[in-house]
Each structure stands twice: as structure tokens, then as C-alpha cells.
């Protein structure tokens, strides 16, 4: 069966991660995604190596499969004209330029929605299209810091160390996820209204939104959340513990699991201790409970304790590195790593989309494209440009 979005065309004018991540997801679901890049340089991340596969950085390869690359210089009038023509053949345009840039080139949402009233125009920016910060630039790390995440990530304040950013650009990735869901919602709305619209997705607001229970802890409890290392503000024990030969992550989510956890550690006495009987009492008496558990867990190995915990259905796991995650038996069983051949015949490894449809499969058809690989193809097929037209544009460095 065809993929879910096989009837949708996307013009991906974004670069780096948030926009490309959203466009890659839409491509995985079958959309025909055309990535617009500057001639000669392309997406910034093409140069963000090492490591490299040929001339492409691993970073670029992580966010650009299932796309075709077309080079267009949008800073010149002929390039802008090409975009305006392409827009009349697409359903969605994604961009993450600094606020005002696209409008300055005559490619803002007002202009392009006049050309194609059914267009879904999605803008991703640091701080949104309106407000006093709208024109300020921003990268993921500064958003993690300024939008609250780093204030709750890292060791507790009384321990050595300070705020930490997450080890991947999670503010970018989550903004891309919000953009994806917004685009799908807008496409559904269009089936009812017949009209497109402009979507505004800020990294900052997205970062704030997905702080989830930590936001509500402040709004309801009135106390500012603090850094807690691997611990959980609302559940105990729910953190990493050192064992005799490593570490494990324990994630006790209810009172029954706590009883089973105490049984696994042969610590039945604390299970009946009034200080620890309920989830809320365990949170209140965290400082008394955690040292008792840690002392016991240090007495045996990670594998021993995981065996005891798993026998009783207590959620717990090892702290695996990425190499282990991508090569272990579970990775093989779930096909977490795939390979797509590029136009040079080289296999390009890719981490699978986590979604499995029962009837409309995710596709893995195109390796991340080489810069400008599909320029001639798209201009010819979509716009009817002749070889002579394309040669003229290339000689004048428009494409």
C-alpha cells in the first residue's frame, strides 16, 4: 500500500535541525520532500564534521533522508521567481530563516499564500514571529538554557557540577516534532476549509511547552523546580543507583512496584515503614530512603539486581551507551538501524523511524541527497524547464 502522505509535496527551505527533522518525518511518511539549498554551500550541517561519510557529515545525514536536493539562490530575483513557481506545485513550505528574511525576499507567507491559497506555510524560529525577541537569532543550546531545561538538568545544586544541556539538540528536535504535528493538523483542516495557513513554531515556546510536569509543579506547587541529577521530582525511588560493578536505573512508579522492589533487594522491613508506604510519603522522605537503597544495591552487580527486579516486574534497566543500543540483540530484532544506498552506490546507515503502521508503511527510499543532486530533475518535472533553461540558470549561478 502507498505511504500515508504519498499525495503531499513539501518544499523544505529549512536548514540545520528543527526544520529538516520535521521534513524528514514527513518524508518518512511518504511526502515528496524537495530540499532547497544555497548553491555551493548548502545546508550548514553538511560541514559539521567529523565524522564523515564521503563528503557528507554524520550530522547532516541524521536529518535529511527521503528528500531531493535542489539548489536555488533565493537572494536574487531569478531565484525568488523559481521558488514562487515551485510554491504553486506544493502543499507545504517549511522555513527557519531569521524572522523577516523570507518577506524581504518577497517569499513571506502573505505573498506566497496569494500565489497558492492552499499552501501550509510553516515558520520555525528562535522566539516566534511576534514579540520583542522575534528578530533575535537562536541555537538549541541557548534555548535549552534560557527556556528552562538546563535549570533542571545536571547534578543537584549541593553537589559538584552545574547545569547541563541534553546531549542532543533536543530543543530543535522537539520544535521539529511540534511543527510536524501542526502541519498534519493544518493539512486536515484544509480538507474542510480548502485553505492553507501560516504556522508559527518557536523553539523557545516549544521548549517551555514540553517541560510538562515540571511546569505544573511550579504552577500548582509554587516552588521553582531544581536540578536533581537522575532523580524524579514526583516519584521515589526513580533514579540511577551505583552497583558493585556499574550502575542501573530504577523506575518505581507506584506502591505495588515499591513493595516488589523491596522484595527484590530483600529489604522487606522498609516496605512496611510508615515513612515509605505511599508515593507521596516516599517523596517527603526521599533523603532517608535513598541512602538505605544505595547501601544495599552496592552489595551486588548490575546484572544480579536487574535479574531480581525483572523477575518481579519492577521497571529497571542498564545504562547503555549508544554503541550498545545500536548493536545489541534488541536493535537487530526491531531493525533499529537500516541502510539506504546513495547515488554513488554507497550504503548510508540510518536510524529507523520508530513508528510502524500496519497498512501504510514508513518508507526508506532516498538516502540524504548530495548537494543539488535533483535540481535538474525537479525543475524539469515540476516546472517544465528545458535543458537550455537550466544551463542558463546554472551559468548565472541562480541554481
What 3-state DSSP class applies to 248?
strand
Phi, psi of 351 (to 5 degrees): -85, 130
Phi, psi of 303 (to 5 degrees): -65, -35
Set of cell numbers at residue 185? 493538523
Mark whether 172 is an active-site residue: yes
Pairing between strand 337-341 and 9-13? Answer: unpaired
| Contact assessment for residue 202 and residue 136, using Cβ atoms and an 8 Å cutoff | no
Helix boundaries (H) for 228-348:
255-264, 268-271, 279-284, 286-297, 302-311, 322-327, 329-333
Q: Whole-angstrom Cα distance, residue 70 to residue 61? A: 16
Q: Whole-angstrom Cα distance, residue 113 to residue 117? A: 5
118 class by beta-carbon count within 10 Å (0-12 exposed, 13-18 middle, 19+ buried):
middle
Catalytic-labelled residue, pool 12, 32, 172, 200: 172
Residues tagged active-site: 172
Amino acid at each position: 500500500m502507498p505511504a500515508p502522505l504519498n499525495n503531499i509535496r513539501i518544499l523544505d527551505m529549512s536548514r540545520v535541525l528543527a526544520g529538516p527533522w520535521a521534513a524528514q518525518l514527513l518524508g518518512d511518511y511518504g511526502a515528496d520532500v524537495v530540499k532547497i539549498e544555497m548553491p555551493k554551500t548548502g545546508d550548514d550541517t553538511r560541514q559539521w564534521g567529523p565524522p564523515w561519510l564521503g563528503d557528507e557529515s554524520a550530522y547532516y545525514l541524521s536529518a535529511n533522508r527521503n528528500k531531493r536536493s535542489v539548489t536555488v539562490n533565493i537572494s536574487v530575483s531569478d531565484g525568488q521567481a523559481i521558488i514562487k513557481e515551485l510554491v504553486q506545485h506544493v502543499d507545504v513550505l517549511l522555513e527557519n530563516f531569521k524572522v523577516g528574511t523570507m518577506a524581504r525576499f518577497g517569499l513571506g507567507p502573505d505573498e506566497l499564500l496569494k500565489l497558492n491559497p492552499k499552501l501550509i506555510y510553516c515558520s520555525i524560529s528562535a522566539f516566534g514571529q511576534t514579540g520583542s525577541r522575534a528578530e533575535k537569532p537562536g541555537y538549541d543550546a541557548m534555548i535549552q538554557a534560557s527556556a528552562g531545561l538546563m535549570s533542571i538538568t545536571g547534578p543537584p545544586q549541593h553537589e559538584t557540577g552545574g547545569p547541563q544541556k541534553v546531549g542532543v539538540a533536543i530543543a530543535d528536535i522537539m520544535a521539529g516534532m511540534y511543527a510536524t504535528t501542526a502541519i498534519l493538523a493544518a493539512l486536515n483542516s484544509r480538507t474542510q476549509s480548502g485553505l492553507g495557513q501560516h504556522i508559527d513554531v518557536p523553539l523557545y515556546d516549544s521548549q517551555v511547552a514540553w517541560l510538562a510536569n515540571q511546569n505544573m509543579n511550579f504552577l500548582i506547587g509554587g516552588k521553582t523546580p531544581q536540578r536533581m541529577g537522575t532523580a524524579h521530582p514526583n516519584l521515589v525511588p526513580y533514579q540511577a543507583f551505583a552497583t558493585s560493578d556499574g550502575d542501573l536505573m530504577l523506575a518505581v512508579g507506584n506502591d505495588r512496584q515499591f513493595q516488589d522492589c523491596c522484595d527484590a533487594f530483600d529489604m522487606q522491613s522498609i516496605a512496611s515503614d510508615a515513612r515509605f508506604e505511599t508515593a507521596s510519603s516516599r517523596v517527603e522522605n526521599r533523603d532517608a530512603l535513598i541512602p538505605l537503597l544505595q547501601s544495599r544495591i552496592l552489595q551486588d552487580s548490575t546484572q544480579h539486581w536487574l535479574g531480581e527486579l525483572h523477575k518481579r516486574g519492577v521497571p529497571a534497566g542498564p545504562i547503555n551507551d549508544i554503541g550498545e543500543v545500536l548493536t545489541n540483540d534488541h536493535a537487530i530484532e526491531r531493525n533499529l538501524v537500516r541502510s539506504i544506498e546513495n547515488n554513488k552506490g554507497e550504503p548510508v546507515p540510518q536510524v529507523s523511524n520508530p513508528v510502524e503502521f500496519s497498512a501504510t508503511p514508513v518508507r526508506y527510499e532516498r538516502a540524504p541527497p548530495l548537494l543539488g543532486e535533483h535540481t535538474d530533475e525537479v525543475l524539469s518535472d515540476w516546472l517544465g524547464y528545458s535543458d537550455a533553461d537550466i544551463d542558463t540558470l546554472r551559468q548565472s549561478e541562480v541554481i
